[in-house]
Amino acid sequence: MRNLRAGILVTLTMVVFLAVLPMPGWALDGAAVLLQVDRNLNPETYEMYRKLINIEPDGSKKEFVLYTIKKGQDKMVALFLSPASEKGRSTLRLEDNMWLYMPSVGKPLRITSLQSIVGGVFNNSDILRLDYSSEYDVESITEEDEQIHLNLKAKSNTVAYDHLEMEVDKATLIPTEIRCFATSGILIKTLHYSKVKDFGNGLVRPSILETDSPLQKGYRSVMLFDGITPREFSDETFTLNFLPKVEELR
C-alpha cells in the first residue's frame, strides 16, 4: 500500500510538472510555476529533520538540530533536539503568528518573523517557512537560457520580505537562488539552494540551503535537510497546548 501511494504521488507530481511547462509559443503561468516549485521542495504536509549551522567571520560554528512538521498552507512546528542548552524548545507558526515555547519558562512567548531564535543570518521566517505561493504573488515571469526568473511580491506587509527575485532551474522547477528585498529596495539576504538529493517518495530537491547578507558581512548560515517524509497530522498538533508534547510525535 505504501509503494502504491508513493507511485501515485510521483505520477501526480509529473502531471502537475508537465502542466506548468508551456507548449512552444505559449506564455508560462507564473502562479502554476511557483506552486510547483513549492511541491518540488516538499510535500504540502510532512515531517523532516534539519541541521542549522551558523558560521562566524572567524570560522567558528554553532549547530542546531531540529525536528519539523508542517500541515497545509499555514501550520508549522519545529522542535530543538540539540544542542543540550536548546533541547526541548519548540516553535509554532500559524499563518503569520509565531510562538516559542521554552521548558524553563513553561508558557509560549510571541516572536516575530524578523527575529531569529538561533541567531545567525536565518530569521524565524526562514526557519518556519511556509510555501512561497502562500505568501507571495507572481508579478512577472521570464525565461533565459536554462533559467526561469520570478519576481514575487508579498501578499501582505506582515511577510518578512517585501519582494523576492527567484531563479528557478527550467528543467526541474527547483529554485537555485532567491534574493530577498526590503520595502526600500535594499537587499536583505540571498538564499542559495544546492546539492540535489533523492529523498524518496518522488521528492528530489536540494539538500542544502545557504544564506549570506550584505548587512551581516562575513557571517553565513547553512541549513542541511534530511528525512523529508509525507505524514498526516491532526490540527491539535499545531496548537499552543501541544508545544510541550511535540517530542511524542517522533
Q: Is the pLDDT of residue 8 over 50?
A: no
| Percent of the chain residues past pLDDT 70, beyond the cut | 89
- pLDDT at residue number 28: 80
Q: How far apart are CA 235 and CA 78, in angstroms?
A: 15
- pLDDT at residue number 112: 93
Question: Which residue pairs from 150-158 have beta carbons closer than 8 angstroms and sit at least 24 positions apart in sequence?
Answer: 150/30, 150/33, 150/34, 152/34, 156/96, 157/183, 158/96, 158/113
Was domain 2-65+119-229 assigned CATH 2.50.20.10? yes
Q: Which tens digit of pLDDT belongs to each residue from 90-112?
A: 999 999 999 999 999 989 999 99
- pLDDT at residue number 6: 47
Read off the C-alpha cell for 131: 510555501
Quick one: pLDDT band at residue 22, thresholds 50, 70, 90? low
Q: How far apart are CA 70 and CA 246, in angstroms?
A: 12
Quick one: pLDDT band at residue 27, thresholds 50, 70, 90? low
pTM: 0.86
Q: How many residues does the chain have?
A: 250
Q: Which tens digit of pLDDT belongs to each residue from 169-221?
A: 999 999 999 999 999 999 999 999 999 999 999 999 999 999 999 999 999 99
Q: How far apart are CA 15 and CA 18, in angstroms?
A: 5
Q: For residues 120 and 128, is the Cβ–Cβ distance under 8 A?
A: no
- pLDDT at residue number 21: 56
Q: Which tens digit of pLDDT belongs to each residue from 113-155?
A: 999 999 999 999 999 999 999 999 999 999 999 999 999 999 9
- Residues paired with residue 204 on neighbouring β-strands, in sequence order: 198
Write the DSSP symbol of residue 196: E
- pLDDT at residue number 20: 55
| Residue 230 Cα distances to 52, 137, 160, angstroms | 21, 26, 27
Q: Which tens digit of pLDDT belongs to each residue from 31-83?
A: 999 999 999 999 999 999 999 999 999 999 999 999 999 999 899 999 999 99
**Average pLDDT along the chain:** 91
HEC sequence for 62-96: EEEEEEEEEECCCEEEEEEEECCCCCCCEEEEECC
